[in-house]
Structure 1
Amino acid sequence: MSRARSSDPDPAADLPRLPDWLRGLPGETLEDAALSAGAALALLHQVQSRAQTPLALWRARLALQAAAQTARHAGRPEREAAIRDALCLMRPGDAPGPAGEIGLAWQRAVERPLSDETLARALPHLAAGQGAALPGAPIQQASAAIEAALAEAPRDHLTALVLGDAALARALGWSHLLPLLGLGLTRRDLGAGGVDLRLTCHRAVLKAAGPALQLAADLARQAARLQSVVPKLRVKQSTRAVQLVLARDAIAPAMLTGLMSDRAARRFCDRLVELGAARELTGRETFRLYGL
């Protein structure tokens, strides 16, 4: 993808980054880890108030990464590309498969404002009362939610991680779930409990924050590039189509056929690539997917 000219202002210039000194904190004690994680969460909070970040796309991309991590927990071989295919190429009535189900759950967890209804849509098997608010500081609430979920179903890491990130987002007053623990916790980490799990959750937040902040900056630049080429897109519904690209991890041209013909949708996506405003994500000649 072509870059903005060096003379152009950087759309991500005022977005926060995770400083090197914060990455280097030892985090050996719960107090140290809590300090580091709290600083990282403050930076992530800032990103969510900046208009230049395409927040829906940011959350969707992080959800895809969390889905791949959760698939690893289950010992599945599928990675991001395979889960993306399952989500974007699935037809009505199709079964997404086990890894696709994981991806669908994370996607549903992040795409709507956080609520009991959102969690029930993401995790239809949730029992009444699961996901309710717990006492304590934000990461303490998150670790308690994970521990409670694993006590109910020790092998259901997906539910535990979604509920952990939901508890964290609610405690912080965020409108949407952000998959931080889903990204930062490993299968081995979830074998801990009590104070050990809380310490691991603090470390996981710091681990996930750096890449999440970098992704926000990258997407802000790419979104600005995409918006800049809209006048060159001679398609009647180009503005609405661009909004769809900015809201999803990836799109298939078929997703645009409600706005334009099938042929026009394919040409629109290829034109975005020609202008350096989007990428073709699969490397395939057929069943192609596009995104920032």
Structure 2
Amino acid sequence: MNFLGDVSISDMRVVPRVPAWARPRSEAQSDADAAYLAGAALISLDYLVREAPAWAGVWRMRLALKSVVAASRLLRRADAETDLRDAHVFRSVGADPGPAGKVLLAWRRLASRSATLDEDVVRSIAELLDLKWDGALAEVLANAQEMYGSQRSAPTIAAELAASAYRARPDAELLAYWLADAVLAQKFHWPVPIPLLAGQILSPVLRTGKLGNRIRPGETGWGRAVFTAYAQAAADACDLGIDLDKRAGRLLEVAPRLRAKGSAQVVKLLLEEDGLPASWSSAKLSARGARRLFERLEELGAVRELSGRPTFRIYGL
């Protein structure tokens, strides 16, 4: 039963899993090994992106959230996933989202729009990241088009663009990660970028040397680190996809049983958004009706409560 008009249980696909041999190992790897792993893992991810599963929206939003949890460490913060989700879900229209909230908005924009390095778009991202736009960043962006047109591999270009942004403006490290994922998506011709590289900021794959210091864009070993990071990020993204595919399958299985007006819209949003507040409402569904609907979906094993609280609850796949 195609109850959403364009989404049904028949739209579910087999989600590829990155094989064990294509996942980064703990021991040191050569540049060639790292490039090979990145290529193999990104092929699986590319297949998944092109399948365009019904749950692609929530998948990208979860990856955006993961990226910002890691990126917040660069802001000398320790924002947890639940804190960031709360701040976003319950933020009033027009309210200041705060430093971490602005970073989340930047990565949500990355994960919800076509891959583009248009200056107006990138300037708006720089503003969210509290960066003053200047000639140095404009030049990085202008050179990005030349990089994109080269025949080098997508991860190579992503690493070089991130390094050029960091060299031009050491305070633009977060923007460097954002630009890397944007140009990677362009090279793969993905309709919407997938948040990947920033999610590995805290991972051992972006640490180097005996002390395990975090490697900065452009430092010695940066290229190999980026290849390894993309291999790990692609594997993590596919693993998340496998989990969401099962959860979305259950949601689409029970959806035809729902009788509440407006339930189809709720199901569609659950496939697109990281989480919805229990107080969500629409012209067809009151906040009280939505609460009952979410509780019913939870009873059916189709959604989870994400906040862990008895009040101000948030539901999602």
Q: TM-score, normalised by structure 1?
A: 0.88
Please tell me the root mean square deviation across aligned C-alpha atoms, in Å.
2.4
Per mean C-alpha deviation after superposition, the further-off stretch among 53-62 and 190-199 is: 190-199
Identical counterparts, % of pairs: 35
- Aligned-partner residue type, residue 61 of structure 1: R
Per-residue Cα deviation, 1:110-169 (whole angstroms, up to 9, x for no partner) = 112222365454444555465433143211110111112212321332211101111111
Separation (CA, whole Å) in 1 of partners of 2:58 and 2:279: 19
- Aligned-partner residue type, residue 73 of structure 1: L
- Aligned-partner residue type, residue 146 of structure 1: A
Separation (CA, whole Å) in 1 of partners of 2:217 and 2:262: 51
Separation (CA, whole Å) in 1 of partners of 2:41 and 2:12: 18
Q: How does 1:182-201 map to 2 (within 5 A)?
A: 182-186=198-202, 188-193=213-218, 196-201=221-226
Choose which of 174, 184, 187 in structure 2 pairs with 1:168: 184
Q: How does 1:1-292 map to 2 (within 5 A)?
A: 14-23=14-23, 28-52=29-53, 54-115=55-116, 116=118, 118-124=121-127, 128=138, 130-131=140-141, 132-133=144-145, 134=147, 135=150, 136-186=152-202, 188-193=213-218, 196-292=221-317
- Aligned-partner residue type, residue 234 of structure 2: A
Separation (CA, whole Å) in 2 of partners of 1:264 and 1:41: 42
Separation (CA, whole Å) in 2 of partners of 1:198 and 1:271: 49
Q: 1:12–1:218: 8 Å Cα contact kept in structure 2?
A: no
Per-residue Cα deviation, 1:29-60 (whole angstroms, up to 9, x for no partner) = 21111111001000000111225451111111
Q: 1:27–1:36: 8 Å Cα contact kept in structure 2?
A: no
Per-residue Cα deviation, 1:235-256 (whole angstroms, up to 9, x for no partner) = 1111121101110011113443
* 5+ long unaligned stretches in structure 2: 1-8, 207-212
Q: TM-score, normalised by structure 2?
A: 0.82
Which residue does 1:3 correspond to in 2?
none
Q: 1:230–1:239: 8 Å Cα contact kept in structure 2?
A: yes
- Aligned-partner residue type, residue 113 of structure 1: S
Per mean C-alpha deviation after superposition, the further-off stretch among 263-272 and 212-221 is: 263-272
Q: 2:55–2:248: 8 Å Cα contact kept in structure 1?
A: yes
Residues 245 and 38 of structure 1: CA distance in aligned 2, closer, same or farther (over 3 Å): same
Q: 1:166–1:177: 8 Å Cα contact kept in structure 2?
A: yes
- Aligned-partner residue type, residue 45 of structure 1: D
Separation (CA, whole Å) in 2 of partners of 1:50 and 1:13: 7
Separation (CA, whole Å) in 2 of partners of 1:91 and 1:291: 20
Deviation at 1:216, TM superposition (A): 0.4
Separation (CA, whole Å) in 2 of partners of 1:51 and 1:140: 25
Q: How many residues are treated as equivalent by the alignment?
A: 284
Q: 2:12–2:249: 8 Å Cα contact kept in structure 1?
A: no
Moved over 6 A (4+): none
* 5+ long unaligned stretches in structure 1: 1-8
Q: 1:58–1:216: 8 Å Cα contact kept in structure 2?
A: yes
Residues 101 and 193 of structure 1: CA distance in aligned 2, closer, same or farther (over 3 Å): same
Q: 2:270–2:316: 8 Å Cα contact kept in structure 1?
A: yes
Deviation at 1:68, TM superposition (A): 0.3
Q: 1:161–1:182: 8 Å Cα contact kept in structure 2?
A: yes
